[in-house]
Amino acid sequence: MEQNKIPQATAKRLPLYYRFLNNLHHQGKLRVSSKELSEAVKVDSATIRRDFSYFGALGKKGYGYNVEYLLGFFRKTLDQDELTEVALIGTGNLGTAFLHYNFMKNNNTKIMMAFDANPDKVGKDIGGVPIYHIDDLEKKINGVQVAILTVPAAAADGITNRLVDVGISGILNFTPARITVPDSVRVHHIDLAVELQSLVYFLKHYPLDTEE
Amino acid sequence: MEQNKIPQATAKRLPLYYRFLNNLHHQGKLRVSSKELSEAVKVDSATIRRDFSYFGALGKKGYGYNVEYLLGFFRKTLDQDELTEVALIGTGNLGTAFLHYNFMKNNNTKIMMAFDANPDKVGKDIGGVPIYHIDDLEKKINGVQVAILTVPAAAADGITNRLVDVGISGILNFTPARITVPDSVRVHHIDLAVELQSLVYFLKHYPLDTEE
DNA sequence: ATACAATTGTGAAAATAATCACGACTTATT
DNA sequence: AATAAGTCGTGATTATTTTCACAATTGTAT
Ligand SMILES: NC(=O)c1ccc[n+]([C@@H]2O[C@H](COP(=O)([O-])OP(=O)(O)OC[C@H]3O[C@@H](n4cnc5c(N)ncnc54)[C@H](O)[C@@H]3O)[C@@H](O)[C@H]2O)c1
Ligand SMILES: NC(=O)c1ccc[n+]([C@@H]2O[C@H](COP(=O)([O-])OP(=O)(O)OC[C@H]3O[C@@H](n4cnc5c(N)ncnc54)[C@H](O)[C@@H]3O)[C@@H](O)[C@H]2O)c1
């Protein structure tokens, strides 16, 4: 909603900054410089200052940033006070791992429900999250805006269409399938096999030295 | 080693192209245009042509690309005929999911061994991969060049130092910790909480319409 | 043969992102 | 009070990535 002039590259780093600021705060640190933060998050300090500057003047020259103030600012900016409900589809290896993980720790997101096609899984719960049958998706989803997709690739398109029809806004897609959605839905792909393979490619074809 | 003029953005897409070309080949398709491929992988067709062009003229004007030829080319380029051995550290929720997954399917990478600190896990195997005690890391790793890190964040730095000392080349880091390594080691961070949170941020702050 | 439709490869332009470098200001020290 | 050291915010620059747009070429149909 607000200002959408913030570069995407910046937006992707915000949750990272937020997490490290939280760490600093818990450590009792009162202030932090872009240089210190840079060493912690491995992002160039000029990039950090530039990122912050899109939100105005958050720091003080010669001093740095007040941890508590900055944390509070990012809490608001990242809507940390508002819970985002998430549904997970496919409670296999990967889905189960996510259900056991507490995304709430540094996060305003919570997996509220899971779906699976396997009747052995339906009716149980994992990590306190109830598992419903995928046939009941439309009945149970109840306005949840974000879905994590961890079904087999072959099932990805079908489920996606149903998620779109039911009005989902965002999908975090872990399947190797590149799903098709209307422009009103945002998809982030996390392709673990590609990540592993591209790491290997970089190792073999790039001089081991600079950047990450 | 070879030409390192290939842009990083391009290099990251290569495994994706490779996988979809494999799919097409299995479907018996003989040729493909950048437009078709674009619809499948959701990358602009001009970008695909540009990516391919870094490797020379792989296609034919007015025709497109020969699937088998292109596949063979990428197989060589991505060193698909050479196995890359991988070690996984931390056989918890996420680590276990990866051990159950067959990265070999479209891939030249294989998890050969896993390590954990929990004596209940040591000595067993998951998905056919033996689990050793983390104390035996140096003894067992045997020149493996790539590690997947799925330990608790607090253990990340210690393990990383040991991996570096033992001569690792690349680390796929799933912990929220931003680990420190010398320039000779490449780290790719996959930060699932950040991915989820940044998706939520985009949904709330960006007009639902263009790009992905 | 010829015409037509399809599609590449790429120069040029545009968009996006990262980095440099410095003036202005803050805090700490003497 | 003056000085020194530290640090931000940002204009300018550079680097990287994406996209446009079209001449050149190919395959197909008549
Ligand atoms: N596990 C990994 O390490 C890994 C790595 C890379 C990619 N992936 C991808 O992530 C996805 C999930 O992987 P996984 O290892 O958890 O697979 P999995 O087979 O363990 O789990 C898939 C789950 O989805 C359920 N399912 C199947 N069809 C369904 C449907 N139509 N509706 C609802 N649920 C359905 C199955 O019952 C199962 O519980 C796959 O697409 C896989 O390719 C996984
Ligand atoms: N599970 C998720 O969905 C998820 C999501 C986001 C991030 N992460 C991150 O991924 C990492 C792993 O998550 P998880 O859910 O699998 O955690 P987990 O606690 O289930 O597993 C961690 C494993 O590491 C082992 N371990 C602990 N200390 C060790 C050491 N020094 N050497 C070797 N092994 C050691 C533990 O015995 C355990 O088996 C964590 O850093 C977590 O923050 C996980």
Share above pLDDT 70 across residues of chain A, in percent, rounded to a whole number:
95
Examine the domain organization and report whether B71 and B153 are in the same domain.
no
Q: Of B59, B77, B95, at which residue does a domain stop?
A: B77
Confidence of residue A61 (pLDDT cuts 50, 70, 90): very high
How high is the mean pLDDT of chain B? 93
- Cα–Cα distance list, B104 to A93, B85, B96, B111 (Å): 17, 11, 16, 9
Residues contacting residue A90 through CB under 8 Å, at least 6 positions apart:
A115, A116, A149, A150, A151, A152, A155
Supply the pLDDT for residue A3. 55
Q: Of B77, B112, B134, at which residue does a domain stop?
A: B77
Give the number of domains in chain B: 2
Q: Which of A159, A158, A150, A161 is nearest to A189 (CA)?
A: A150
For residue A97 and ligand 2, the question of a CB distance below 6 A is answered with yes
pTM assigned to the model: 0.95
Q: Which of A145, A151, A116 is nearest to A132 (CA)?
A: A116
Examine the domain organization and report whether A128 and A44 are in the same domain.
no
B170 strand-pairing partners: B146, B186
Length of chain A: 212
Examine the domain organization and report whether A19 and A57 are in the same domain.
yes
Q: What is the mean pLDDT of residues B38-55?
A: 97
Nearest by CB to residue A193, choosing from B107, B195, B197, is B107
The answer as to whether A201 is a domain residue is no
Amino acid (one-letter) located at B168: I
Number of other residues whose CB lies within 10 A of the CB of residue A82: 10
The encoded tokens of residue B35 equal 């437009």
pLDDT digits (tens, 9 = 90+) for A2-31: 455 899 999 999 999 999 999 999 999 999
Share above pLDDT 90 across residues of chain B, in percent, rounded to a whole number:
89
Q: What is the mean pLDDT of residues B35-54?
A: 97
Confidence of residue A41 (pLDDT cuts 50, 70, 90): very high
Whether nucleic acid strand C comes within 7 Å of the CB of A192, the answer is no
Supply the pLDDT for residue B108. 87
The answer as to whether B99 is a domain residue is yes
CATH code for the domain in which residue B29 is found? 1.10.10.10
pLDDT digits (tens, 9 = 90+) for B191-210: 999 999 999 999 999 876 53
The answer as to whether A199 is a domain residue is no
Sign of CA dihedral A121, A124, A126, A131: positive
Examine the domain organization and report whether B42 and B137 are in the same domain.
no
pLDDT digits (tens, 9 = 90+) for A104-140: 677 789 999 999 999 999 999 999 999 999 999 999 9
- Give residue B89 CA to ligand 2 midpoint distance, Å: 9
The answer as to whether B145 is a domain residue is yes
Host domain of residue B57: 3-77
Q: Return d(Cα A165, Cα A132) in angstroms, integer.
A: 18
Examine the domain organization and report whether B65 and B103 are in the same domain.
no
Whether nucleic acid strand D comes within 7 Å of the CB of B195, the answer is no
pLDDT at B106 over 90: no
The answer as to whether B199 is a domain residue is no
Examine the domain organization and report whether B91 and B182 are in the same domain.
yes
Examine the domain organization and report whether B44 and B146 are in the same domain.
no
Q: What is the mean pLDDT of residues B144-164?
A: 98
Q: Return d(Cα B134, Cα B131) in angstroms, integer.
A: 9
pLDDT digits (tens, 9 = 90+) for B51-94: 999 999 999 999 999 999 999 999 999 989 899 999 999 999 99
* Nucleotides of D strand lying within 7 Å of any protein CB atom: 5-11, 16-21, 23-27
How high is the mean pLDDT of chain A? 93
Chain A residues touching B209 at Cβ < 8 A: 183-184
Q: Return d(Cα B130, Cα B112) in angstroms, integer.
A: 8
Examine the domain organization and report whether A181 and A92 are in the same domain.
yes
Atom index in ligand 2 nearest the CA of residue B193 equals 6
For residue B17 and ligand 2, the question of a CB distance below 6 A is answered with no
Supply the pLDDT for residue A210. 35
pLDDT at A208 over 70: no
Supply the pLDDT for residue A211. 34
CATH code for the domain in which residue B171 is found? 3.40.50.720
- Cα–Cα distance list, B190 to A170, A193, B68, B140 (Å): 19, 12, 32, 26
Supply the pLDDT for residue B208. 66
The answer as to whether A7 is a domain residue is yes
- Sequence-ordered strand ranges (E) for B24-124: 31-32, 65-66, 84-89, 109-116
Are A185 and A123 spatial neighbours (Cβ–Cβ below 8 Å)? no
Examine the domain organization and report whether B92 and B8 are in the same domain.
no
Examine the domain organization and report whether A89 and A187 are in the same domain.
yes
Of the listed ranges A63-67, B94-98, B169-173, B204-208, the least confidently predicted one is B204-208
Supply the pLDDT for residue A206. 86
Examine the domain organization and report whether A72 and A169 are in the same domain.
no
pLDDT digits (tens, 9 = 90+) for A157-202: 999 999 999 999 999 999 999 999 999 999 999 999 999 999 999 9
The answer as to whether A114 is a domain residue is yes
Confidence of residue B5 (pLDDT cuts 50, 70, 90): confident
Q: Of B24, B53, B77, at which residue does a domain stop?
A: B77
Confidence of residue A1 (pLDDT cuts 50, 70, 90): very low
Nearest protein Cα to ligand 2, atom 33: B116
The answer as to whether A210 is a domain residue is no
Length of chain B: 212
The 3-state DSSP class for residue A32 equals strand
pLDDT at A154 over 80: yes
Examine the domain organization and report whether A7 and A62 are in the same domain.
yes
